Amino acid sequence: MATGAATSRRLRLWHTAGVLAALPVATSNQPGFSFTNLLILAAVIAVFYPVQKKIREVASRRRRERWAQEEAQQHRSAPRDTDDGPDAPADPR
């Protein structure tokens, strides 16, 4: 077998040990709170809160309209009961 420049080399686990050991060191110097992160959070809230509020209002309005239509349809399609039940007032003739 001929080995040439086209042969791919595999990266073994022990080759990455130096990189993996450096990761906790690289991330440990970050502060838990930063003003930049607070500004980003405020911007996200300022954009998404009004959007989700509008979506909820529209969804609630459509749901109430749909319920009203379904209720009106039920009243139209319900059979009319002409029989006076036991709670009906007596005929004053």
Task: Judge if pTM exceeds 0.85.
Answer: no
Whole-number Å distance between alpha carbons of 72 and 62: 15
Residue 78, pLDDT score:
79
Whole-number Å distance between alpha carbons of 53 and 56: 5
Work out the angle at residue 43's Cα, subtended by the Cα atoms of residues 55 and 30, and round it to the nearest 5 degrees.
130
Q: Walk along the chain (93 residues) in steps of 10 and give the mean pLDDT of each run.
A: 58 62 56 87 96 97 96 86 62 60
* Side chain identity at residue 53, one-letter code: K
Residue 70, pLDDT score:
95
Report long-range pairs for 41-46 (Cβ below 8 Å, ≥24 apart).
Answer: none
